[in-house]
Structure formats: C-alpha cells, structure tokens
Structure 1
Amino acid sequence: MPDLLLSAFVIFCRLGGCLMVMPGYASPRVSMQVRLFIALSASLAVAPLMMANVLPVVSNASTSFLYLIILSELMIGIVIGIFGRAFFAMLQMLMGAAANASSFSMPAALPEDNEQIPPLAGIVTLSATAMLFISGAHLDVFLALAESYAAVPVQGLFMPDAATMQLADRLTRGALLALRITAPFFVFGIIINLALGLTNRLMPQMPVYFVGLPLIVIGGVFVLYLTISEMISLFFNGLGTWLMLE
C-alpha cells in the first residue's frame, strides 16, 4: 500500500505540474481548490494505466532517489505545460502587434490573466482558451500526458538541455503559427497606412489622422469578423499537431 500511494503521488507530480501552468487550468480565475481537485481526479484516472511502469521504479528506489524522482516528475510536468502555454503566449504577443497595426492599442485586462493587453488580443486569446474546453481538446492534454510516459519514463532524470531545445522549438512553431494567423491584420495595417500616407501627401490640408483612425478601426473589426473562425481553426490544428507529437 505505501508503494501504491507513492506511485500515485509520482503520477500526480507530473500531471499536477503540467496543469499548474497549462492555459485554462492555470487561470487565476479558477480557484486553487478546483485546480487541485482536477489534478487529483486526473491522476487517479491515469494511475491504473501507468501503475505497471511506475510501481516497479518506486518500489526499488531508495529514499534519496525517490526525492529525485519526485523533483524530476514535477519538472517534466511543468515543462510540458510550458510547451502548451508557448502557443498561447505567441498568439497573444502577435495579436497584440496586430492590434497596434489596426489601432486597437488601448490596454484592457484579460480574463485569463491579470496582464494588460489590447482588446483585440484579449478577444482572440480568450476565444482560443474557451475553444480549448468547448472542442474537447483539453482531454487531449490528459491523453498526451499519459502517452508522455512512453517517451519520458519515470527514471528520476531531468535533462535541462533537451528541455531547453524543445522549448525553443515549440516557441518557434508557436510564433510561425501565430504569424500565419495574424498575417491579415498586418497586411491590412500596411495597406491602410500606406493609403493614408499617400492621401496626406496629396492633400496636406486634410486631417488624415482624424478621418483615417475610424476607418482603420472599422476595417480591423471587419477583418476580425472575416477571419476569426479560420484563426481559431488554424490555431487548434497546430495545437492538435503538437499534442499528437507529444
């Protein structure tokens, strides 16, 4: 019985570490008790499947090695959660840049976090977080965590160099994916600002800023209306590809 409890706790370390930083689950709007209950429930659900691989390692481990296993599993879970957060962070960052290109630069609080970001970035990021649960993709997170034991078994070893390289790869993928999503806003911003600049040169007496700013805002809203469904679809295709690779 002690070995079974220790094995379940080791599994909880990886799942709990991941959910501690995973978008949606790690929101400050979700109480700590609810997050703890989700982590415990997921750990107990996955434990019977992973017990055959975890129990022999925990049973034969010394006390000092058991501490190393717990620390290693906690770090592995946190790194996996950071991989998932990298996609949302890149989307939020580039949507903030797209908001500046569309004159939506007024900061506002994001319900997912306490950070002040432009409303356009908040709308898209919040929609992506909500779709994570509406589409059932949050269940794929638990599936990826269960399958991670095949790629990274419980051995008490955490390799920071490999984790850093994989994090850089996830950040690159997330940035390229977010750049594909936000490209229409950058194209719109370049075209409209170029047109307003030419208008200002041709008619210097015209107040281009006061005339053009409402047009830029209306155009940005129209681009968002046309592309938001494709944006969310492309984002979850990329996120689903990462979950399958994990």
Structure 2
Amino acid sequence: MIADPQGTVLVLFAIFCRIGACIMTLPGFSSARISMTVRFFLAFAISMAMTPVLFDTIYPRVQGGGSSLVAVIVGELLIGIMYGLVPRLFVLGLQFAGSAISMAIGLNTPGASDILEDTPENQMTNLISFGGLLILFMMDFHHVVFRALVDSYGVMPLGGMPDSQKMLITLTDTLAQTFILMLRLASPFLIFGLMFNVAVGLVNKLAPQVPVFYISTPYLLLGGLLLVYFTISAMVMQFAQYFPMIFNF
C-alpha cells in the first residue's frame, strides 16, 4: 500500500517533465512520423520505470506540493530539453554533411519528402541521415541518453533552476565538435568536387569552344556516387562511434 499517494504522483510527474521534454527533442523519437500519443505513452512508461530508482532522491523535494512546484516544472523541462537537444544537434549535423556532399558531387535534385521530418530534403541527405540514425538505434544510443538523465539528478538536482550559462556552453561546444566531425566526414567529397571542378576549368581554358561543364556533370555525379558507395559505411560508423564522446558532457 502506498503511504503517500499524492507524493508518489508528484514524483512521477516530476520525472515525466524531464523525460518527456527530452523525448520531445530527441532524434528519432521526436520525428514527425511518430504520433504524439505514442510519444506520450513512451515518456510515461520510461518515467514509471525510473520512479523506483529515483523515488528516494525526488520525494523529499516534492512532498507537500505547493506553488514551488511551478519552478520545479520549469527547471525540469529546461534540463530535459537540453539533454534532448545535444543528440539532436549531432544528428542535424549529419544532415548538414549530407547536403554538403550532395552539392559537392553535383546531385542537385529537387527536395523530396523527408523520411524523418516534414521538411523536403534530397535523396542523398535522406540516405545518409537515416542511415546514421539507424546505426545510432542499433548501438542503443537512447539507453545512453536515458542513463545520462538518471545520472543528471546528481549533477542538476531537482528543485533548482539550471545554470543557463552552462547550458549554452554545452550546446555551443556540441555544435563546434559536431561541425568539425561532419567536416571530416564530408572532406573526401569536398576535395573530390574541388579537384574535379578545377580540372574541368583548366580543360575549359584549353578548349573554350567546347561546353565542358555540360559534358562533365555526368562524370562528376558518377565519380561522387562511386565515392559514396565505397565510403558511406565507414562514414555512418564513425558518426555513431563519436556519439558517446559528443554526449559525454
């Protein structure tokens, strides 16, 4: 029998605020292809699973209720959003790399329906971003995030407002590391596109009467697709292997 039903519900609600805010921004779970009902019940189920683990830590801070719970809710939502934004920025970086690769190899196709979101993306970006996210799920990245959420109660305890400066520093550091990583992953294609276009420009100078740029486009696309064929597996694997280091803040 539960001695304090109100306190137990408040503990569950406090955990749900942090977990639900994280799932609201977590890549894959926050996809437009997943309904709000599924996300709600998923966050609720994870919150219930974490309640026995975190009950003794959270219960002294929420028992009795009162107006102080408003600050608790706001703080929990901000912390959960930050923990979800870090992996989301990491996955958005892969979409950025896919767009850069598409432009470098001359694959300038019209945007089609995105697999994950409602925004239009070209086929190369869809392929790379979906492959990277699939590898993350295969490596149980969501377990890493949920474990970090449980450990976050020792770093950011319930009841206090999070330090906005530290949160912004965390997000900016994540953006900087993600940009460097995605630049490294896309560098073979950028170098290939640069060298190919320089060579075509030199040929055009030698034979200005020939429309070299119109003739060279299929060769640029063919060489770029062959490069994608030989490197995409290593690209998505390096992307997944760097996730724990990016998320370890």
Q: Normalising TM by the smaller chain, what interval?
A: over 0.9
Give the TM-score normalised by the residue count of structure 2: 0.93
Task: Give the drift of 1:116.
Answer: 2.0
Match of 2:124 in 1: 120
Query: What corresponds to 1:209 in structure 2?
Result: 213
Match of 2:103 in 1: 100
2: CA distance between counterparts of 1:128 and 1:171? 17
Contact in 1 for aligned 2:91/2:129 (Cα 8 Å): yes
Shift of 1:118: 2.7
The answer for the alignment partner of 1:190 in structure 2 is: 194
Partners of 1:205 and 1:90 lie apart in 2 by 41
1:11-44 deviation digits (Å, cap 9, x = unpaired): 0100100000111000010111111111111111
- How many residues align? The count is 244
Deviations 1:68-126 (A, max 9, x none): 10111011101111111111112212321221111112222211111122321221011
Between the aligned partners of 1:95 and 1:194, the Cα distance in structure 2 is: 22
The within-5 A match list for 1:82-93 is: 82-93=85-96
Q: Kindly indicate whether residue 18 of structure 2 is the aligned counterpart of residue 14 of structure 1.
A: yes
Assess if the C-alpha contact under 8 Å between 1:70 and 1:156 holds in 2: no
Deviation of the 1:135 alpha carbon: 2.6
Equivalent AA in structure 2 for residue 210 of structure 1: Y
Q: Could you tell me which residue of structure 2 aligns to residue 69 of structure 1?
A: 72
Tell me the equivalent position of 1:81.
84
CA distance in 1, matches of 2:76, 2:61: 13
Contact 1:65-1:156 at 8 Å conserved across structures: no
Q: Report the AA paired with residue 39 of structure 1.
A: A
Q: Deviations over 1:135-158 (max 9, x none)?
A: 322222211211222221112312
Q: Counterpart of 1:108 in 2: which secondary structure?
A: coil
Counterpart of 2:161? 157
Could you list the runs of 5+ residues in structure 1 that have no partner in the other structure? none
1:86–1:171 contact (8 Å) kept in structure 2: yes
**What secondary structure is seen at the aligned counterpart in 1 of 2:67?**
helix
Cα RMSD after superposing both structures: 1.4
Contact 1:7 1:58 in 2 (8 A): yes
- Tell me the alpha carbon deviations over residues 176-225 of structure 1, each in whole angstroms, 9 at most, x when there is no partner: 11111111110111111111111111122222122211111111111111
CA contact (8 A) 1:15 1:42 kept: yes
For the residues of structure 1 that align with 2:151 and 2:225, how far apart are their CA atoms? Answer: 41
Structure 2 alignment gaps of length 5 or more: none
Match of 1:146 among 150, 155, 165: 150
Are the counterparts in 1 of residues 94 and 132 from structure 2 also a CA contact under 8 Å?
A: no
Maintained 8 Å contact 1:101/1:189 = yes
Say whether 1:180 aligns with 2:184.
Answer: yes
Q: Say yes or no: does 1:223 pair with 2:195.
A: no
CA contact (8 A) 2:14 2:73 kept: yes
Secondary structure of the structure 1 residue equivalent to 2:210 = coil
